[in-house]
Structures are given as structure tokens and as C-alpha cells.
A = this chain, B = another copy of it.
């Protein structure tokens, strides 16, 4: 790995132009461009239809929109299995996001199969739904980080028909020692996996945490 970084001129670099990308086989292009930018959060979205059918689906297209108020963005492709989740969110206004740990990886990936709407992915993949306090959408019991959200708005993305759903964070549950004294969530303690593309999963391997950067001041390593 050090060799790459030291000089990428030492390795054989491949170039793809826009035109070449368009001419790639569909599956190759989908896997390529979907995984291109790097690691993303692997999260399970829990929801329930108005008539009580539970749904669980894995998502990695997540944006931190803002902290005050706390807002989360989730990108939906309405033509896939994600449509059940979106229907439920529209019907009830509530959903949950739950982290995926190593023990849950296979079950979490299995939620991407096209189950009928009446069939609960919780049951199909054997992840237990958990209802807490008055929150009406199901959490994933084995997740160490659980977030309850309320639909705030939807933004259609004209370029390709995807939809950015923005949720207001109503409640967060996490282990006390999975948060540093200054607020940072310690995903290496919580065991939160990351995803790349449609099918690849990574464990969180902490490298460094740096102090707030200022011009002409050296960075310090700070505790995580």
C-alpha cells in the first residue's frame, strides 16, 4: 500500500473517459461507479406500513445534512427493493437507521433480496425487530447504534429520478463507551461496518484522529 501512495507512477494506471464508462457492460459499470468513491456507512433501514407490515433494507447512501437541528439524508432509487421502505416512510412518516456489526453482515446483506411487501425481512433474515418507548418504526435489536427518524422532506433529483429523503433525528441509542467525551461516535467500539458498492463490507480499523486544523499550526493526534 505504501508503494502506491509514494508514487502511483510506479504502477500501471487505467484511464476511463466518460464515453468509455457509458460503453461498459451494465453490471460492470454499476459495480464500478457505485464503489468508486470509497467506504460508506452500512445501515439497516427499518420501517412499517400503515397496515403493520415490517420492512428492513440495507442502505449505504447516507448524508449527514446538519447537526442543529439533527438531519439525515437517505438517497432512494424507487425502482428497486428500496421502494417498500419509501412507501412505508410516506405512509407513516417514521423510520429507523441501525448500524450493522460483523455478526449481522450476512443477514444485513440478505435484506437486499426482493421479498414480497407482506413478508417481513426481519423474519426472513432472522434479525429481531425492537420497539422502544413510543417510537412506531422498528429498530434492529442487535444493532449497537439505533437512530429513530421522522420524515421531514423529499427532494427529487432531476438528473436520474432518485429521491433524497431528509429525516429529522428524533432519538438515538448507543452504548455509553461508544462515544468519546467530546461527542465523537467511536465506530470501532460499536463495531459499525462500512460498505463499498453493492456487496463489499469493511470493518472499522482506526488510523488517527487529528486536532482542528489552523494555517501554520502543526496537527496533533487526539484521543479517540
- Interface residues of A, Cβ cutoff 8 Å to B: 1-2, 4-8, 11-18, 21-22, 24, 26-43, 61-73, 75, 97, 99, 101-106, 109-115, 119, 124, 141-145, 147, 152-153, 155, 157-160, 162, 164, 166, 168-180, 182-185, 187-194, 196-197, 199-215, 217, 219, 222, 224
Contact = CB atoms under 8 A, between A and B. Distances in A.
23 contacts: A1-B191, A4-B189, A5-B103, A11-B175, A11-B177, A26-B68, A28-B183, A35-B185, A37-B72, A38-B42, A40-B40, A71-B159, A105-B208, A106-B208, A109-B210, A109-B219, A112-B213, A113-B213, A114-B214, A153-B158, A157-B166, A199-B209, A202-B205
- Counting chain B CB atoms within 10 Å of each CB, the highest count among A32, A41, A102 belongs to A32
B75 A213 contact: no
Given A175-B14, A200-B224, A184 B31 contact: yes
Contacts of A171: 15-18
Contacts of A114: 214-215
B64 A36 contact: yes
A78 B214 CA distance: 19
Nearest to A42: B38
A189 B14 CA distance: 14
Given A113-B215, A159-B153, A183 B42 contact: no
Copies in the complex: 2
A67 B30 contact: yes
Contacts of A141: 8
